[in-house]
Structure 1
Amino acid sequence: MQFHGKRVIITGAGKGIGRTCATLMAARGAEVVALSRTASDLDSLQADIGSRGIRVDLADPAATRAAMAEAGVADYLINSAGINVLQSTFDMTEDGYEAVMGINLRAALITCQEFGRARVAAGGGGAIVNITSIAGHRGFADHLCYAASKAGLEGASRVLAKELGPHGIRVNCVAPTITLTELAAEAWSDPAKAQPMMVRHPMNRFAEAEEVAKSIALLLSDDAGILTGAVLPVDGGFLAV
């Protein structure tokens, strides 16, 4: 219960890693404010963990700022919302670029900005974890805009750590490998598809969503009080080889 009495805002909380983070943080005592664009996901999450839900399309900058204002002051922020549009160098479209960068990068920067402003006004302190990806470190075909968004978020997180640090606000990233959410587990169930990627992992497996969530909880906790501006690979050793 290390987060008892604390409040956390989680974007993309309706599904996948974000939902797992919401469940874990609630189990450890935090009050969860969940942001998602799908009302049914917010309703089911509220039923499961007693979270407070805010429906928002993070592709809309004004709506994102309004949602953060509605969320109010929190102790922590987890940016889990993300999308991918599979396009190669030759196939990239303006619509694909705007969709991926709008959610994965711009929305995350807005939520960090609004979180930081609220924390400073409240006297400082707090922590942010932005979820990036190993795709920001290694080149994967058809991930042009996705890779740019995740590498960009890591670079921006270092600036955030520098500028928010004097106010006692820490900013870190986790960079997961393929994470076996319900959707991903189905997508990677074919050994012919999974094995070429699997052999690049020294631990010979992909990540579980709870493992990513626990790593995020560690970075938010007081146990990581000196850590800021860091990128933690949650990747079974993928980036080490």
Structure 2
Amino acid sequence: MTTHDFAGRTVLVTGAAGGIGGAIVRQLAAAGADVIAAGRSEESLAAICAQTGARPLAFDLQSHDSVRAALEGLDLWGVVNCAGDGGEIATPMDTDVDVFDRVISINTRGALLVTKYASQSMVRLGRGGAIVNVSSQAALVALPGHISYGSSKAALDGMTRVSALELGQYGIRVNSVNPTVVMTPMSAWYWGRDDVQGPFLDAMPLHRWATEDEIAGPVLFLLSDAASMVTGVALAVDGGYSCR
């Protein structure tokens, strides 16, 4: 088996109907993985599953019972926690606490629930495995207006490190990727504004937005045997923005 051959490995990808999640599903399927594409509804997953042959799995990340029912006993080798909520652009003074709670519930608590039940199955199978959490550059540097999103992703990075510490004894590696902005519909409403994108790209050494495939590639690396000695890291995929 080559380092990027996932034949015989079942990998769950949450947020599979989204841009980055879809790119991860496509790259995993092309590398031979048995991909389970997860989202809130099977209808939202129909296109990516038809394109790649992935198996759909619908559950609600905000519901403990829904996640447990979907994942308990499901045989998995790997997991990508990619589902996310961008929240709002707000300062700590004017943030909507209900929005903050929702973002934490999806981005952090939801990833924890998936990790909880997926890792139980991975330990039971005794084959090791890998978990990759799709975090953000907002966990590494302060971004204006990102009090909810940045907090949720910083907590996700902390969860990544603790999970790596706890699961390493079972041969399970846990890492994060921390992407810069990908110009998806979810991000364009804010990052596409002239007063925002100009100064941001000027401050980034590579001076451009990332593509979905440029985020999926490092995710596959961290899942793969090429990263067999890598665990507990937060890998910036941000064009150098966080090195300023």
TM-score, normalising length from structure 1?
A: 0.94
Residue 29 of structure 1, CA deviation: 0.8
Residue 83 of structure 1, CA deviation: 0.2
Distance 1:4 1:180 in 2: 31
Q: Which secondary structure state, in structure 2, belongs to the residue aligned with residue 199 of structure 1?
A: helix
Q: Which moved more, 1:215-224 or 1:45-54?
A: 45-54
- Please give the residue correspondences for 1:123-162 in structure 2 after superposition, counting only pairs within 5 Å: 123-162=126-165
Contact 1:14/1:38 (<8 A) preserved: no
Residue 40 of structure 1, CA deviation: 2.5
Distance 1:194 1:38 in 2: 33
Name the structure 2 match of 1:220: 223
Contact 1:15/1:41 (<8 A) preserved: no
Residue 193 of structure 1, CA deviation: 3.0
Distance 1:156 1:190 in 2: 33
Paired residue for 1:82, among 60, 79, 84?
84
Paired residue for 1:104, among 98, 107, 117?
107
The amino acid across from 2:69 in the alignment is A
1:93 aligns to 2:96 (yes or no): yes
Contact 2:49/2:56 (<8 A) preserved: yes
TM-score, normalising length from structure 2?
A: 0.93
1:122 aligns to 2:125 (yes or no): yes
The amino acid across from 1:83 in the alignment is D
Deviations 1:163-194 (A, max 9, x none): 00000000000000001335545764454431
Residue 110 of structure 1, CA deviation: 1.1
Residue 16 of structure 1, CA deviation: 1.5
Distance 2:24 2:67 in 1: 20
1:235 aligns to 2:229 (yes or no): no
The amino acid across from 1:82 in the alignment is G
Name the structure 2 match of 1:57: 60
Residue 96 of structure 1, CA deviation: 1.1
- Please give the residue correspondences for 1:8-87 in structure 2 after superposition, counting only pairs within 5 Å: 8-69=11-72, 72-86=74-88, 87=90
Distance 2:7 2:231 in 1: 22
Distance 2:153 2:175 in 1: 13
Q: Which moved more, 1:93-102 or 1:113-122?
A: 93-102
Distance 2:6 2:190 in 1: 34
The amino acid across from 1:202 in the alignment is P
Residue 92 of structure 1, CA deviation: 2.5
Q: Which secondary structure state, in structure 2, belongs to the residue aligned with residue 174 of structure 1?
A: strand
Name the structure 2 match of 1:207: 210
Residue 38 of structure 1, CA deviation: 3.5
The amino acid across from 1:80 in the alignment is C
Q: Which secondary structure state, in structure 1, belongs to the residue aligned with residue 236 of structure 2?
A: strand
Distance 2:57 2:222 in 1: 24
- Where structure 2 has 5 or more consecutive residues not aligned to the other structure, the ranges are none
RMSD across aligned positions (CA): 1.6
Q: Which secondary structure state, in structure 2, belongs to the residue aligned with residue 129 of structure 1?
A: strand
Contact 2:77/2:127 (<8 A) preserved: no
Paired residue for 2:8, among 5, 10, 23?
5
State the aligned residue count.
240
Q: Which secondary structure state, in structure 1, belongs to the residue aligned with residue 95 of structure 2?
A: coil
Deviations 1:119-166 (A, max 9, x none): 111114000000111111222222112111100110111110000000
